[in-house]
């Protein structure tokens, strides 16, 4: 059966036919698009439910983590208002006192352990949250507070006691000591967090995602117009894959999930072989078979690898999380077996190494359509961007970082000059790169229109414009959250634009993002989505 929808206006992101008013859908695919004359032969009935709505291609979140769904099982404690999967807005908390207050209320009805997430002390003058603060929440059960970066966790005394860590004499770079010589409850970096994680219900399994978490994540996607979302670091064990296959196959599962293999136990050929096995399991709604590698750490954690210039505050250079030999061998096997690899870099030195390895791999195994993507790629000057273009490597920039941490980057991490060039979308487009932009949810909230706003306005939390020369046009930003993102995930032949033969994936908007200035992008409200022809209205908060 063919369904015809009429909308106020349809922006197709197809340059050959930029706008339309009518779109016909059959079997989940677009079969005709244009005016009424172009579709009326397909159906007598025109569905008028979107007649006052604006349709865009369903947004593609180019870098997120499905685990955001499981985070909502814990208590949100962030500075900014944030909507949960059901649309209920959790008010931002503006002081440590407010955080303690919210956790206290939850503790009254909680047994076992209690975890809050999303706090970022930089928004209240870097006040540290210590075990003494969290002891006010509870002395009986272990309490943890995961920071927004996920690189720092604060815990109460009980959590430390349970692991025998509430004692003097501890020497560990990730365990902060108080004046009394005892740990003050703040744990920094993956090694320290791994010690405490399991006792507060925040362990490495969280990266995988259970059925409930996957459903919650998908509900967040509907609210933000997302019809295809990436899941950027999943161990993809056999059990997890079974759960994911089953959940995404539920008839009303509303998104296409692209889940990437991240393994720290496999390398080289074994890693690529595992990806091949996974690729064969792919379904319409669960896409497997791509691999994520991580080259360095994060800039705000001072673990990213920077070139000369280093950290603005004098911190020593960051850490390598993979050797160039392992990078190169993964790239070579990926090219031989037609597996796509995404590589995380934050610092420019890491990007430089990745580019060098891709170049060498391509010399050994020449290939045109390899779709290597550098993820985050936050510091990339013209030199690196030109090299990326030469090798046909695309960049997926962390536009949201400019808003959430831009002020800190200017003040502490890389200084005002390099901060103004972070996530250089305009330069990348000038050099002809394919680009995407992303939220890295749950690190920042999943919301492609907001991400597009960040890339067009580059406004920071304090209201400064960070690097106005790197602002891009609204049309370029919307392209980046549709076709650009689809390209980086290797799905541009299926989604990302509205044209005949592609999937009928729409973002259904209440307002027209193109009719006003760029600053309006973040104000546009989303009615819901259509995914493969199935209509999903965002749930109104109760």
Partner 1 sequence: MTAIPNDLPVALVGGFLGSGKTTLLNNLLRNTDGIRVAVLVNDFGKISIDASLIESVEENILHIAGGCMCCSYGNDLVAALRKISRKRDLFDRVLIETSGVSLPYAIACTVPLIAGLELKTTVVVVDSYSLWSQLDDPLISDTVLRQIASANLVVLNKVDRISVSAQEGALSQLRKICPETKVYATTRSEISWQDICELSSQPNLRQLSSMSSISPGSLFVKPGFGKTTEGHNPEAYFDSCTLEMPGRYDFAALGKALTRCGSDLLRAKVIALNKEGNLTALSYSSDSYETLDLAKKPITAYGVFIFRSSVDSNRFLKKIISSSLSQPKPSVLG
Which stretches of the chain bind partner 1, using CB under 8 A?
163-165, 167, 169-175, 189, 191-192, 194-195, 198, 204, 235, 263-271, 305, 307-308, 314, 316-317, 319-326, 328-329, 332, 349, 352-353, 360, 364
Identify which of residues 308 and 542 has a Cβ nearer to partner 1 in the complex.
308
Min CB(323)–partner 1 separation in Å: 5
Q: Which is nearer to partner 1, 14 or 267 (CB)?
A: 267
Nearest approach in angstroms of CB 496 to partner 1 is 32
Q: Which lies closer to partner 1 via its Cβ, residue 102 or residue 336?
A: 336
Tell me the sheet residues that pair with 507: 56, 529
CB of 238: closest distance to partner 1 in angstroms? Answer: 11
What is the b/e burial string over 521-541, where b = at least 16 CB atoms within 10 angstroms of the residue's CB? bbebebbbbbbbbbbbebeee
In whole angstroms, how close is the CB of 388 to partner 1 at the nearest point? 18
Say whether 456 sits in a helix, a strand or coil: helix
Tell me the C-alpha distance between 367 and 369, whole Å.
6
The least distance separating partner 1 from the CB of residue 77, rounded to whole angstroms, comes to 25
DSSP-derived 3-state class of residue 403 = helix
Report the nearest approach of partner 1 to the CB of residue 195 (Å). 6
Closest distance of CB 353 from partner 1, Å: 6
Q: What is the DSSP secondary structure assignment for residue 180, as one 8-state letter?
A: T
Please tell me the number of Cα atoms within 13 Å of 202 on its side-chain side. Answer: 32
User: Are 114 and 106 spatial neighbours (Cβ–Cβ below 8 Å)?
Assistant: yes
Closer Cβ to partner 1, 219 or 305, answer by number: 305
Q: Which is nearer to partner 1, 131 or 305 (CB)?
A: 305
Least distance between partner 1 and beta carbon 265 (Å): 4
Q: Quick one: which of 291, 289, 214 has its CA closest to 255?
A: 214
Q: Which residues of 139-174 are buried (b: 16+ CB within 10 A; e: fewer)?
A: eebbbbbbbbbbbbbbbbbbbbebeebbeeeeeeeb
Q: Which residues contact 164 (CB under 8 A, 6 or more apart)?
A: none
Strand residue runs (E) in 16-121: 19-26, 29-34, 46-47, 54-57, 59-61, 75-76, 82-83, 89-90, 114-119
Tell me the closest approach of the beta carbon of residue 268 to partner 1, in angstroms.
5
Look-up: residue for tokens 């930029």?
Answer: 18
Q: For residues 183 and 528, which CB has a smaller minimum distance to partner 1 in the complex? A: 183
Q: Shortest distance, CB of residue 350 to partner 1, whole angstroms?
A: 9
Query: Min. distance of Cβ 343 from partner 1 in angstroms?
Result: 15
Least Å distance, CB 418 to partner 1, is: 18
The residue among 42 and 166 lying less far from partner 1, judged by its C-beta, is 166
41 contact partners, CB below 8 Å, separation of at least 6:
none
Q: Which is nearer to partner 1, 299 or 361 (CB)?
A: 361
Instruction: Please identify, using beta-carbon distances, which residue of 40 and 324 lies nearer to partner 1.
Output: 324
Contact 82, 445 (CB under 8 A): yes
Question: Which helix or strand (DSSP H or E) is residue 108 part of?
Answer: none
Note the helical H segments in 48-151. Answer: 68-71, 96-107, 131-135
The rounded distance, in Å, linking the Cα atoms of 347 and 201 is 31
Nearer to partner 1, 128 or 324 (CB): 324
Instruction: Determine contact, residues 102/60, Cβ cutoff 8 Å.
Output: no
Residue closer to partner 1, measured from CB, 325 or 382: 325
Tell me whether residue 49 or residue 204 sits nearer to partner 1 (CB atom): 204
| Cα torsion through 462, 468, 474, 477, rounded to 10 | -90
Q: Which residues of 44-77 are buried (b: 16+ CB within 10 A; e: fewer)?
A: eeebeebeebbbbbbbbbbbbbbbbbbbbebbbb
Which residue bears the tokens 């050994």?
Answer: 364
Phi, psi of 118 (to 5 degrees): 95, 0
Pair 425, 472: CB distance under 8 Å: yes
């Amino acid at each position: 059966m063919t369904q015809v929808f009429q909308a106020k206006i349809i922006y197709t992101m197809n340059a050959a036919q930029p706008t339309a008013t009518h779109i016909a859908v059959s079997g989940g695919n677009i079969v005709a698009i244009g005016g009424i004359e172009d579709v009326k032969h397909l159906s007598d009935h025109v569905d008028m439910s979107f007649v006052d709505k604006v349709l865009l291609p369903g947004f593609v979140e180019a870098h997120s983590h499905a685990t955001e769904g499981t985070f909502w099982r814990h208590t949100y404690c962030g500075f900014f208002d944030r909507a949960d999967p059901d649309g209920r807005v959790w008010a931002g908390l503006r002081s440590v006192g407010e955080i303690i207050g919210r956790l206290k209320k939850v503790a009254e009805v909680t047994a076992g352990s209690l975890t809050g997430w999303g706090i970022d002390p930089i928004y209240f003058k870097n006040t540290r949250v210590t075990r003494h603060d969290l002891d006010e929440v509870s002395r009986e059960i272990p309490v943890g507070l995961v920071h927004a970066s996920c690189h720092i966790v604060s815990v109460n005394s009980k959590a430390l006691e349970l692991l025998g860590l509430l004692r003097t004499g501890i020497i560990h770079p990730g365990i902060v000591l108080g004046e009394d010589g005892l740990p003050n409850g703040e744990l920094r970096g993956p090694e320290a967090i791994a010690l405490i994680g399991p006792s507060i219900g925040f362990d490495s399994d969280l990266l995988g995602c259970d059925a409930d978490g996957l459903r919650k994540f998908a509900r967040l996607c509907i609210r933000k117009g997302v019809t295809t979302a990436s899941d950027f670091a999943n161990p993809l064990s056999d059990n997890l894959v079974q759960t994911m296959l089953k959940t995404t196959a539920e008839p009303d599962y509303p998104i296409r999930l692209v889940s990437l293999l991240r393994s720290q136990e496999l390398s080289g050929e074994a890693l690529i072989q595992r990806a091949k096995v996974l690729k064969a399991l792919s379904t319409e709604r669960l896409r497997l078979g791509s691999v994520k590698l991580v080259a360095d750490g994060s800039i705000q954690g001072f673990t990213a690898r920077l070139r000369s210039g280093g950290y603005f505050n004098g911190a020593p250079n960051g850490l390598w999380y993979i050797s160039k030999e392992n990078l190169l061998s993964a790239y070579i096997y990926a090219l031989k077996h037609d597996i796509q690899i995404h590589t995380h870099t934050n610092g420019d030195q890491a990007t430089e190494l990745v580019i060098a390895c891709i170049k060498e791999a391509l010399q050994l195994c020449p290939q045109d359509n390899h779709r290597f993507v550098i993820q985050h790629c936050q510091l990339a000057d013209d030199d690196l961007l030109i090299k990326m273009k030469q090798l046909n490597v695309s960049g997926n920039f962390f536009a949201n970082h400019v808003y959430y941490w831009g002020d800190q980057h200017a003040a502490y991490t890389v200084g005002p000059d390099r901060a103004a060039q972070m996530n250089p979308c305009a330069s990348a487009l000038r050099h002809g790169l394919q680009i995407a932009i992303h939220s890295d949810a749950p690190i920042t909230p999943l919301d492609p229109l907001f991400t597009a706003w960040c890339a067009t306005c580059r406004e920071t939390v304090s209201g400064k414009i960070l690097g106005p020369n790197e602002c891009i046009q609204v049309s370029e930003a919307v392209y980046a959250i549709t076709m650009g993102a689809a390209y980086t995930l290797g799905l541009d032949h299926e989604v990302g634009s509205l044209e005949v033969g592609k999937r009928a994936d729409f973002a259904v908007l209440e307002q027209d993002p193109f009719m006003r200035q760029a600053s309006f992008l973040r104000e546009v409200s989303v009615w819901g989505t259509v995914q493969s022809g199935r209509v999903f209205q965002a749930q109104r908060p109760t």
